[in-house]
Amino acid sequence: MVTWAHMANVHQQTDSSDGNAGLISGFAAYAMWGLFPIYFVAMRHVPALELLAYRIVWSLPFGLLILLFRKQIRDTLRSLAKPKTVILLAIAAVALAANWGVYIWAIQQEQIFQGSLGYYINPLLYVLVAVVFFKEKLTPLQGLAIAFACIGVAILTLKGGVFPGISLILAMTFTTYGVLRKQIDVGAMPGLFIEVLVLILPAAAVLWFIASNDNLSWGAYGPKTDLLIVLAGPLTILPLLAFTFAARRIRLSILGILQYIGPTMQFGCALYFGEAFTAAHAWCFGFIWVGVAIFAFDAVRKSRRPVKAASLT
């Protein structure tokens, strides 16, 4: 999934046909992310760390094809020539890999609800980090939204006896990734490709170690599993492409609301796969959803305010 950091530097167009295409593309991006649990459930027989390595390895050739198609090779090479950019992207890559790995493991451990909760919390945590570390002002409604989220987490921990550690790790790692990417002047696809380049050697080392112990899943479960392994690359890259297409054509406030499609569909997947949904879960998600609604309302309200002339100079 993509954070607000990727949205900050995009140029928005107002053409209605472009807007409709952007809306469809944005919905498609978040729908693909929302359906990720189906893929990872189907791949439960492949260990999470190995599947993470496959996801990284197969993202590289597919990402290269996209760069060639979009004529972004020069942009990527220019970014690779900047040591500071590469270092920041390397740190971001570690946060992204941690997020991917924990999410895959959570799905395989039948913790889809926690995954969904993590991505509901993520935008709220991103605002909190902006306030604490970047001294941005917290609006009263944003503060109320964060308070509702905290109450929800507390209820699940105290009443349900389940500390949502997976949710918080997912939210924190992706927020870390978003904050880092906000500091880097690089496009979404070139940046992701460089991140994959940073991760490719560790991923290859993991696969080599597993293969040396004769436990590699590739070739062990038949062509269906092998095909699904290869699809890990496109499934990683395609939602990002759909997102970047949408981000250039629709308002950020609309894109911000669309981001909740992903965790909502993940929530539905959890119900479909029969995960236990307790009263504590109901109270927790209830408070989270109220917080999200307040947060979305505040974002839309602010986007409709007229821009002062002074702010344009």
| Interval 118-176: pLDDT, tens | 888 887 887 788 788 777 787 888 889 889 988 988 888 888 788 889 999 998 998 88
pTM: 0.82
Checking if the pLDDT of 262 tops 70, the result is yes
Q: Where are the domains of the chain?
A: 4-304
Q: What is the pLDDT of residues 36-90, one digit of tens each?
A: 999 999 999 999 999 999 999 999 999 999 999 889 999 999 999 999 999 999 9
Per residue in 209-248, pLDDT (tens digit) is: 999 988 899 988 999 999 999 999 999 888 877 876 776 6
pLDDT higher than 80, residue 186: yes
| Of the candidate ranges 45-54, 176-185, 262-271, 281-290, the one whose mean pLDDT is the lowest | 176-185
How far is the C-alpha of 100 from the C-alpha of 1, rounded, in Å?
9
* Residue 308: pLDDT over 50: no
Does the structure show a pLDDT above 80 at 28? yes
pLDDT digits (tens, 9 = 90+) for 80-96: 999 999 999 999 999 99
Find all residues with CB under 8 Å of 80, minimum gap 6, and list them: 86, 194
Kindly tell me if the per-residue pLDDT of 1 is higher than 60: no
